[in-house]
């Protein structure tokens, strides 16, 4: 009978991590629905980017207020989770504060003391974050795409943080032997008087309850990630690692187009020639109309996006009231990808056409055509997400598969094709400027 708590704890861990693993597998499967793109080059530069941008938060602090607050929550999150190790060992083996014996009072006290200070700082930061989101009228949190679930999701995460930090501090405050030892209780000893009126047994029950709820809360939070924008705490690392390293102005050249254009320009090419292997190849679709036409890095981008809206708040189209919001492009991509994933789950792992796609059902041409390709969104993203590449791939589909460019652009393109300039000027007049005053 005395092992029942240990068994319950083990089961809790297995269920918590097991369910999370299942969802991670789905996540990876969904990301792999994207087209292949080679990002295996320049590994040292990639590691440096990951260390600087994800681990070192270098792009976060470009906006100092939210940046510094975020660093506090981030450090708090990582450091306080060291405590998780002790909780797992204690839970599985029925020990209590097992590391205290290992590490010695001084070092253990230093660690727990640090955790407590961080927990308080996190609480303060989270309170400010909540105020920014709900009271301060910050424009990027009020965009149309933030209504409903995205808004609640953002607040849920903050409530989670508050509950977890409060449980951690309560657990320490009601741990009578820990308080009596007087090591590391830098903040929690202020809370002890709150429990003075309770019987010793009640205080112990509160301590146990807080301890169990704390670990349960962490496991619930872990499993909440998959359904939340908060996945960035994991995906920021691969996302910065695999991000584009080329100059931001360099757009991809479609290899399938190169093949056809070279054939067109080759005077010796036989336009009626059959493919060499005799089989008719299915012509590749140009551009993207659905998530499966995007590459896996773009899909990972969508899962990584934490909807902070720095992209949208710097987008010239959005700033001047156009419908385009780079954040919405990423959110739509993820929503559609998850829809495709659920479709596959319901149909034994294969996708059954649902008559929907990313284009039109989620992202409208009006949004796509408002983009100036200025790269402000790409520059702003704290984790190197590239909304512009998705916009461009979808424009390519509109133009090359559907001939659905705005009329003025069609005229411009015809001019380029016919006379080598965007306007209707004769190529033979290109040097006239040299003879004009």
Which residues in this chain contact other proteins in the complex, by CB under 8 A? Answer: 246-251, 253-254, 257-258, 260-262, 264-265, 286-287, 314, 316-317, 319-324, 366, 369-376, 378-380, 392, 395-400, 405-406, 408-409, 411-413, 416-417, 420-423, 425, 427-436
What value does the CA radius of gyration of the chain take, rounded to a whole number of Å?
28
CB of 284 to other proteins, least distance (A): 12
48 — phi, psi (to 5°)?
Answer: -60, -40
CB of 311 to other proteins, least distance (A): 12
CB of 313 to other proteins, least distance (A): 11
Closest to other proteins by CB, 185 or 333: 333
Other C-beta atoms closer than 10 Å to the C-beta of 158 total 17
Residue 260, token pair as written in the block? 């056809």
Closest to other proteins by CB, 190 or 425: 425
Q: Of all residues in the chain, what percent are helix, strand and coil, respectively (each to 5)?
A: 70, 0, 30
Residue 367 φ/ψ region, left for φ over 0, alpha for ψ in the -120 to 50 degree band, beta for the rest: alpha
Closest to other proteins by CB, 36 or 408: 408
CB of 50 to other proteins, least distance (A): 20
Can you give the length of the chain in residues?
437
274 — phi, psi (to 5°)?
Answer: -80, 150
* 363 strand-pairing partners: 359
Alpha-carbon torsion, ordered 53, 57, 62, 66, to 10 deg: 140
CB of 222 to other proteins, least distance (A): 36
Closest to other proteins by CB, 116 or 380: 380
Residue with tokens 């741990």: 175
Closest to other proteins by CB, 53 or 398: 398
CB of 320 to other proteins, least distance (A): 4
The span from the CA of 318 to the CA of 177, in Å, is 57
Closest to other proteins by CB, 269 or 416: 416
DSSP code of 363? B
Closest to other proteins by CB, 137 or 435: 435
Other C-beta atoms closer than 10 Å to the C-beta of 430 total 12
The span from the CA of 304 to the CA of 291, in Å, is 15
233-263 core/surface letters (b: 16 or more CB in 10 A; e: else): bbbbbbbbbbbbeeeeeeeeebeeeeeeeee
CB of 330 to other proteins, least distance (A): 18
CB of 376 to other proteins, least distance (A): 7
SS (HEC) of 160-221: HHHHHHHHHHHHHHCCHHHHHHCCCCCCHHHCHHHHCCCCHHHHHHHHHHHHHHHHHHHHHH
Closest to other proteins by CB, 36 or 437: 437
CB of 361 to other proteins, least distance (A): 19
Closest to other proteins by CB, 229 or 396: 396
CB of 44 to other proteins, least distance (A): 20
CB of 203 to other proteins, least distance (A): 54
Closest to other proteins by CB, 3 or 251: 251
Would you say 333 and 387 are in contact if contact means Cβ atoms under 8 Å apart? no
Other C-beta atoms closer than 10 Å to the C-beta of 404 total 14
The span from the CA of 324 to the CA of 317, in Å, is 6
3-state secondary structure at position 295: strand
Residue 357 φ/ψ region, left for φ over 0, alpha for ψ in the -120 to 50 degree band, beta for the rest: beta
CB of 60 to other proteins, least distance (A): 15
Closest to other proteins by CB, 264 or 273: 264
Residue 201, token pair as written in the block? 């047994």
Closest to other proteins by CB, 230 or 310: 310
């Amino acid at each position: 009978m005395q092992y029942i708590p240990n068994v319950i704890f083990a089961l809790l861990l297995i269920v918590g991590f097991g369910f999370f693993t299942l969802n991670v597998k789905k996540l990876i499967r969904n990301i792999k629905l994207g087209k292949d793109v080679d990002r295996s080059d320049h590994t040292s530069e990639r590691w440096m980017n990951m260390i600087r941008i994800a681990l070192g938060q270098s792009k976060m602090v470009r906006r100092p207020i939210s940046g510094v607050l975020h660093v506090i929550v981030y450090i708090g999150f990582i450091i306080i989770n060291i405590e998780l190790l002790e909780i797992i060992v204690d839970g599985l083996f029925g020990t209590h504060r097992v590391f205290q014996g290992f590490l010695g009072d001084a070092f253990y006290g230093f660690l727990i003391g640090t955790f407590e200070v961080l927990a308080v700082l996190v609480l303060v930061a989270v309170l400010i974050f909540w105020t920014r989101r709900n009271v301060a009228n910050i424009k990027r949190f009020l965009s149309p795409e933030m209504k409903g679930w995205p808004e609640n999701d953002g607040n849920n995460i903050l409530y989670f943080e508050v509950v977890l930090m409060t449980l951690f501090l309560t657990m320490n405050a009601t741990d009578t032997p820990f308080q009596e030892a007087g090591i590391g209780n830098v903040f929690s000893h202020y809370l002890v008087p709150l429990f003075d009126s309770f019987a010793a047994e009640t205080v112990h029950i509160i301590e146990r309850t807080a301890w169990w709820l704390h670990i349960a809360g962490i496991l619930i939070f872990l499993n909440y990630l998959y359904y939340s924008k908060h996945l960035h705490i994991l995906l920021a690392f691969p996302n910065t690692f695999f991000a584009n390293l080329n100059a931001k102005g360099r757009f991809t050249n479609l290899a399938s187009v190169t093949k056809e254009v070279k054939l067109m320009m080759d005077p010796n090419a036989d336009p009626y020639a059959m493919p060499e292997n005799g089989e008719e190849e299915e012509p590749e679709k140009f551009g993207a109309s659905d998530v499966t036409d995007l590459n896996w890095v773009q899909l990972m981008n969508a899962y990584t996006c934490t909807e902070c809206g720095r992209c949208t708040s710097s987008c010239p189209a959005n700033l001047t009231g156009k419908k385009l919001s780079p954040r919405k492009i990423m959110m739509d991509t993820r929503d559609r990808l998850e829809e495709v994933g659920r479709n596959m789950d319901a149909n034994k792992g294969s996708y059954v056409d649902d008559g929907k796609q990313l284009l039109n059902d989620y992202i409208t041409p009006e949004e796509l055509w408002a983009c100036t390709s200025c790269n402000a969104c790409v520059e702003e993203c704290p984790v190197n997400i590239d909304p512009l590449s998705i916009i461009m791939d979808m424009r390519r589909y509109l133009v090359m598969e559907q001939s659905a460019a705005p009329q003025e652009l069609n005229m411009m393109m015809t001019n380029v094709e016919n006379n080598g300039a965007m306007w209707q000027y004769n190529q033979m007049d290109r040097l006239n400027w040299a003879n004009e005053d």
